Amino acid sequence: MTVMIEPGLLAGAVTPPPSKSQAHRLLIARALAGENIADPAHRADSQDIRATRDCLKSLWEGEGELPVLECGESGSTLRFLIPVALALRGGGMFRGRGRLMDRPQEPYFRIFDGMGITHRREGDSLTVRGRLRPGEYPLPGDVSSQFVTGLLFALPLLEGESIIRLTSPLESRGYVDMTLQVLRDRGIRVEELPEGFRVPGGQQYGRGTLGEEADYSQAAFWLAAAGLGSPLTVDGLDPDSTQGDRCAVPYFQQLAGPGRVELDIAQCPDLAPALAVRAALRPGQTARLVNAGRLRLKECDRLAAIPEELNKLGGQLTEGADFLEIRGVERLLGGVADSHNDHRIAMMLAVAATRAEGTVTIRGAESVAKSYPDFWEVYESLGGRVLRQREEREACDM
């Protein structure tokens, strides 16, 4: 789908959808506790959340044969459930779309090779077969915290104690804190160590009380629009949340001030598109997003896509090996840009349109369904002028 957005500010109050990161974790905990995970009728039911729900159902269906788990484009679904499938069913066949199977899985594979667990990728499917055993699990902390979360969910189900030993500093620590919060709520004991985590075996998931929170990751786009002059109020955010992207609030405050700004996004890489579009319109001032190398491993290479697409609209951004340099301009001109089949790039461009002088055309606008299915409806409800057009589009090879 292509959308054409006429210039104009947004206005009103908006409540972001429930946190996708939290929804994945709550669903897995509910399933492991034996609770109903039937489809809810709420806005958290994005493509990624449906993938996790469907995969969990598959884990409890059938006997004997390895389950087939359709992960869509959800890296969280894949990485969270690989260890769970090994613990519960002796493995599974995981299928993905887009760039999913190209995203790194080596931290798991190195562990599996030492345990006799087989792994084989064929095209868009990955088959793992074997059983997790209690023991030591060395993991790098700077590839993705999702590997830590997947093991934290699975290791309590084993018979004996296990240790997750971090071999490098843990990035995106907030997401692991969110996992630990969900585990505590379910009565699962995890001891934090200087070098990782100790996980006793033989545990059972119990009833929990945690509810869903509004998503700081999605709120960041409305906060960016507000910083660019749209009179928006963003409601429903918990200031005491464990969400790593809660740092969006102080980061946007820094961008609201004068002078050069340097923002470290090692712990919150998903904020990069929203921060970049806000920084792009700080006339005559510069900003740099640093420790941004993991952006290359997302739905597309965001470190390349962010400057490529904002520059098409008149921005002045430069891509570095692991940083973005952003020189603020007075205005954007409008033009044609592409989402790269990435939900966050599409939403970034929608925010850019609020301060463009001409129409902004966004190809691949349907990609928002991955995390924010009603984004365009909400955008219009806030006064955005959006014209939709279906498009013939080749499969993205980004």
What is the torsion angle, in degrees rounded to the nearest 10, for the CA atoms of residue 270, residue 272, residue 273 and residue 275? 130
For the entire predicted model, the pTM comes to 0.83
pLDDT per position as a tens digit, 299-356: 899 999 999 999 999 999 999 999 999 999 999 999 999 999 999 999 999 999 999 9
Region for residue 171 given its phi and psi (left: phi exceeds 0; alpha: psi -120 to 50; beta: otherwise): beta
Q: pLDDT value at position 390?
A: 75
Active-site residue numbers? 270
Bridge partners of residue 232, in order along the sequence: 12
When pLDDT is cut at 50, 70 and 90, the band that residue 34 belongs to is: very high
Concatenating the DSSP letter of every residue in 279-333 gives HTTSTT-EEEEES-GGGGGSSS-HHHHHHHHHHHTT-EEEE-SS-EEEE--S-B-
Per DSSP, the three-state class of 163 is strand
Q: pLDDT value at position 16?
A: 95
d(CA 191, CA 199): 7
Nearest to 329 by CA among 362, 302, 291, 357: 357
Q: Decide if 360 contacts 334 (C-beta within 8 A).
A: yes
Helix (H) and strand (E) counts for the chain?
12, 18
Q: Decide if 362 contacts 3 (C-beta within 8 A).
A: yes
When pLDDT is cut at 50, 70 and 90, the band that residue 206 belongs to is: very high
Between 46 and 253, residue with greater pLDDT: 253
Lowest mean pLDDT among 58-62, 71-75, 136-140: 58-62
When pLDDT is cut at 50, 70 and 90, the band that residue 40 belongs to is: low
